[in-house]
Amino acid sequence: MKRFVVFVSALALAALGVAGALAARGGYFSAGEVDARPSSATPELVARGDYLAKVGGCVSCHTQAGQPLMSGGVGITTPYGVVWPGNLTPDATTGLGAWSLADFRRALRHGQSRDGRLLSPAFPYAATTLLPDADVQALWAWLGTLPATARPAPAATLSWPTNERWALAIWRGLYFTPGELAPVPGQSAEWQRGALLVRGVAHCSACHDSRNALGAAREPGSLDGQLMPGGGWLAPSLLQADQAGVQAWRTEDIVALLREGQSPQGRANGPMAEVVHANTRHLTLADAQAMATYLRALPVQPDAAPQAPMKTPAPATPASSASQDGSAAIAVPGARLYARHCAECHGDQGQGVPGVYPPLAGNRLVTMSRHNNLVRSVMEGGFALPTAAEPRPYGMPPFGPLLSDPELAELLSWMRTAWGHQAAPVSTVDINRLRGDLQR
């Protein structure tokens, strides 16, 4: 109800100035666009489009498992309803067969369909508007090589008033400004390329920007983190070292995380593992290095809950028989649960096994102030992403079916205070709430 009231209030205020705002921006069209299809596409241009479509998530979003490439994806669940990625094959009726390059450019740059319909911001035109014209042409050339598939997309099921065109027009007037990414004086060419990849092609902001009550980024491109809808995963802040900041990482470690999903500093899990598998693993080395350069240069914010320095883990005393100070700990439920279910792989002192099982001592997944990702990772289990060097990685079984809510709370709370950690405990209520998210 609160979100609805804020939304209607904002619409009422915005309606007074939206017409002037649109006029000042020249509407949703660019005067220099030419409504013509390229006479030919070189193999290099098509290959470039294929690369951009993979890295940028076009393929993973617009392709449903078992269906033809780019013929439409699985519904995207938002706080306002479900939106379906469309058919981008050259089919004349249900795809882009009747479109021109200018139509396609308008969709990417201005979020507007060929028939004039305003597109839902679930289609990331706030990011694709930043793409240079050469990248738009490359994507268009590649899409033109795909087999035409007749497959209409289901209609979106959005709640009122987000299903009204006037509401979307006002939202755009408030929060969307079309335009390519302007170079930043004083920054290197590699940083500029990284900025385009992070903010435009890979649209990291779609997950990592915090949102207001109307679903708009509070500060576009800030990458300050948000709790993702529909499942409780946290897209952590890339500005804080205690979350997902990589400013102190080596470039090669960031590159490894982007291309392989794991590095000496940590590994991707949850939705980020899916992004690596579907998108960023296709990055060239040069583009991954450019993204790393941009991410390392992001401003650093203070940690949400500063931690005491982590003790250097040493595989000496079993977790089931002694606590941090050496006193008997056999009666501590969390320690017993760790010894029974975790120590065999992750070590008595949380030291892990290099290249096989990640360490838990000093691991920011364990100590992060918002513990959603830790809870979900333990409840669901999972495998590291396969790589050329490790095509069959070790995995962790799901402990959600095995342990009760109080047991999970005891185990995770103990881990968050063991080995020098000073993180807040996890409550049974937290576990129960996240378990409910998984069962929806």
Residue 21 tokens, joined: 């705002």
310 neighbors 420 (Cβ within 8 angstroms): yes
Task: Tell me the pairing of strands 234-235 and 226-227.
Answer: antiparallel
Tell me whether the CATH fold assigned to 189-210+220-296 matches the one assigned to 333-439.
yes
Model pLDDT, residue 77: 86
| Closest C-alpha to 201, from 257, 266, 275, 260 | 275
Model pLDDT, residue 391: 73
Q: How confident is the model at residue 303 (pLDDT cuts 50, 70, 90)?
A: low
173-to-29, 58, 114, 362 alpha-carbon distances in Å: 14, 26, 20, 45
Strand partners for 76: 83
370 neighbors 430 (Cβ within 8 angstroms): no
Question: d(Cα 3, Cα 11) in Å, to the nearest integer?
Answer: 12
Model pLDDT, residue 436: 79
CATH domain 333-439 topology: Cytochrome Bc1 Complex; Chain D, domain 2 (1.10.760)
Q: What is the pTM of this model?
A: 0.84
| Closest C-alpha to 190, from 296, 294, 299, 295 | 294
**pLDDT of 302 over the 70 cut:** yes
CATH domain 189-210+220-296 topology: Cytochrome Bc1 Complex; Chain D, domain 2 (1.10.760)
pLDDT digits (tens, 9 = 90+) for 332-345: 899 999 999 999 99
Q: How confident is the model at residue 382 (pLDDT cuts 50, 70, 90)?
A: confident
Q: How confident is the model at residue 216 (pLDDT cuts 50, 70, 90)?
A: very high
pLDDT digits (tens, 9 = 90+) for 147-169: 999 999 999 999 999 889 999 99
End-to-end CA distance of the chain: 21
Residues 168, 209, 244, CA angle at the centre, nearest 5°?
160
Q: How confident is the model at residue 304 (pLDDT cuts 50, 70, 90)?
A: low
Model pLDDT, residue 386: 75
Kindly state the average pLDDT of the residues 85-110.
Answer: 96
144-to-45, 70, 150, 153, 382 alpha-carbon distances in Å: 11, 11, 15, 19, 38
Q: How confident is the model at residue 393 (pLDDT cuts 50, 70, 90)?
A: confident
**pLDDT of 13 over the 50 cut:** no
pLDDT digits (tens, 9 = 90+) for 40-76: 689 999 999 999 999 999 999 999 999 999 999 999 8
Sign, Cα dihedral of 142, 177, 217, 262: positive
Where exactly are the structural domains of the chain?
9-175, 189-210+220-296, 333-439
